[in-house]
Chain A
Amino acid sequence: MKTDHDVLIIGSGASGGMAAWTLTRMGIKCLMLDAGPQVDFDRHRDSRAVFDLPFRGLGEPGRFPHVTQASEFDANFWLDEKQNPYSYPEKDPYYWVRIRALGGKTLRWGRASWRLSDFEFKARDHDGFGDNWPVALADLAPFYDRVEPMLRVSGRNEGLPQLPDGKLIEDRSTDSLSVQRFIASCKQLGVPTTKPRRATGTLASSVNLLLPDALATGNLTIVPNAIVREISVDPKTGLVNGAHYVDRRSKRDYHVSARIVILGASTLESTRIMLNSKSPRHPNGLANSSGVLGHYLFDQIYVKNVVTAIVPEARGGKGPRNLTGGGGYIVRFRNVGKPDPKLKFLRGYTYDFGSGFTPNARYLPLYGEPLLRELQNLQGTGFSMTTMGEVLPRFENHVRIDPNVKDAWGIPNLHITARYTDNEHAMAKDSMEMAEAMCKGAGFEVLARHSQMVPPGESIHELGTCRMGSDPKRSVLNQWNQCHDVKNLFVVDGSAFVTGGAQNPTLTILALTLRAGEFMAAEMKKQNL
């Protein structure tokens, strides 16, 4: 055996990075495998003119059927769909958006950093649907308190129960006049708003905030380009003892041993690895005696530009300089407390809003010189809102292995089944009507509105499929992200979520992983692991 490690960490993004940061600093030897290459920020990027790109920035047709976020500038950054195919029912497309590189999606995330509240952790107590988490905000708050300063999160505390306060760099910036008017309109409707809450800094990634400290301890070995095929199991004990991986470039197979395995490969990749790790001790996939592994897939609904409006006095560049610009966040206001019987949906939604852009030409029923003149006239006048809403976790939304669909390394990939239901459709419609009322109350001119949600997956907030719970018959993980069935296997990414609210999930993934890592270290010390 070439090497032997205490802990094998699979994945190097938010969860894998935080696991390494926590454990190595407590003296534990960790090996980290990541399926992707290391990004060299000097060598892999440069400045290029849009007119020198092969398709003038409109993108190579058909290269990314499911990644609407990819542009012709950054196409090479996203995971190649042809090398990594997956399947879904013909009528229910699922947009699985992946980045495979050291640092994972923290290289490109939107950085919004909101805490979940007990309206999410104890959702069942509020409306009777689904399940509670085995943890409450009080359990996680001390970890959120430590994670926010690491990410240098800026924002403003509002003292709202549905959006817990954090340890923030206070955002004292003044709002533009149009945003002030919009906030006043929201207030009239009883809708709370706040500043965006985001990680700051040139880069806010695992590769600059977590992994350097972990490497500095001397306890971390990082191996990029190692695609894990399967986790190996000791047939006598049923415990995990390492992983089989394949070198991305040479396609050679390897095995590495470890006492403990941590999966942080991303929501669907971790579940895929577990489902692919079948053995006589685990015939339905690793740690799946409950049969729940792969089930309860959810994400968040997005209605992009649910309303696009303009600030009328800003036309033609008129109006004071501080009239437009800036933005903010609308805090969940539906079903806070007991369900509102007047609404046709459970749970709630939030919005991002922004001011100061030029509206897209598609919204203007013009062409030719009138179109070009109107675009000049509307420069910087735009105001838009995007809905982000909670999706109810349902057993029937699930992933399974599709034996007929394999990646370029011969590893079977997923068949993904996810459908939005009446609850999500009703929520999207309500969000459109409310958004329009908020804009009109501010005196904005509404150019367009719609309630069409992006396909499941497109928000890149996929969650669940390896959920936590206190009942081993109905969940895969306990409250410490530890498998009920296999005590030396931990799953720390978004797959552990029981509910997701409408808040961006990364901050919660980081807090859960920090908590799980410290539990793990304590158990190792007690020789329970």
Chain B
Amino acid sequence: MLGAPAAAALPLAGTALAPAAAQAQSAPASEFPKLAVSHPDAVGDPKPRLLTDLQKATLARLCALIVPPLDNRPGAVEAETPEFLDHLLRHSTAARQKLYRDGLDRLERDARAKSGKAFSQVDAAQAADLLAPLRQAWTYQEPTDPFARFLRLAKEEILAATVNSRQFAQAASAGRRGATGLNTYWHVID
């Protein structure tokens, strides 16, 4: 039936049902079909709702600096990680939101003070100065400075959200037999 006009398969209102032989052979009367469908995240462009435009631009630059595209893999920006983090933050505690917002504002402020431009416009060398806490050795105890804490958290979340993205899975699965990112999901057990 592929390519046949869809209307042809439907009986017109008021007309008798088509003879059985004309119905699709592949659809027995007893079947509950499971159709191939897509996903909201796969078709639309995400619309972030929490951060200000300036904060969004700062976050996008931070994402590009922390996980750039490499070889054939998408970077954080290509994986729509900034938009995803806005969504994650919208569902997070007020304290977490403040940590991110204050951290992004601080990056913007420091960029303006040190290089006279927005953080979204800084080059790699200027950014390296602003992101110095990320080059400190890891300690189990979180840093006391909220800005260092923000950068440490943002690095982990940007990397995880990028590696777990649809775009990353598509690139990683290319040329392979298995799909990337699949795991056992448990439904509500009632």
Contact = CB atoms under 8 A, between A and B. Distances in A.
Interface of A: 36-37, 39-40, 43-53, 55-58, 60-62, 73-77, 101, 249, 361-369, 371-373, 447-448, 450, 452
Contacts of B161: 56, 58
The 6 closest A-B pairs by CB, nearest first: A450-B140, A48-B185, A51-B166, A61-B92, A50-B181, A56-B164
Interface residues on B, range: 35 or more
Interface stretch (B23-31, B60-68, B112-120): B60-68
B155 A367 contact: yes
Interface stretch (B6-14, B48-56, B130-138): B130-138
Contacts, number: 129
Given A448-B138, A450-B140, A50 B164 contact: yes
Contacts of B189: 36-37, 39-40, 44, 76-77, 101
Nearest to A225: B190
B59 to A, nearest CB: 14
Contacts of A368: 65-68, 124
Contacts of A52: 39, 41, 166
A183 B57 CA distance: 52
Interface of B: 39, 41, 65-68, 70, 84, 87-88, 91-93, 96, 124, 131, 134-141, 152, 155-157, 159-161, 164-166, 168-169, 179, 181-190
A400 B131 CA distance: 49
Nearest to B152: A362
Given A58-B157, A368-B65, A372-B70, A51 B164 contact: yes
Nearest to A363: B138
Contacts of B96: 61
A187 B186 CA distance: 44
A47 B92 CA distance: 27
30 contacts: A46-B187, A47-B183, A48-B182, A49-B179, A49-B182, A50-B183, A51-B41, A51-B168, A51-B169, A56-B88, A56-B164, A58-B157, A61-B93, A62-B93, A73-B183, A73-B184, A73-B185, A75-B186, A76-B186, A77-B189, A361-B155, A365-B134, A365-B137, A365-B138, A367-B131, A367-B155, A368-B65, A368-B66, A368-B124, A450-B139
A45 B186 CA distance: 4
A44 B140 contact: no
In this complex, which of A43, A52, A365 has the most chain B Cβ atoms within 10 angstroms of its Cβ? A52
Contacts of A56: 84, 88, 160-161, 164-165
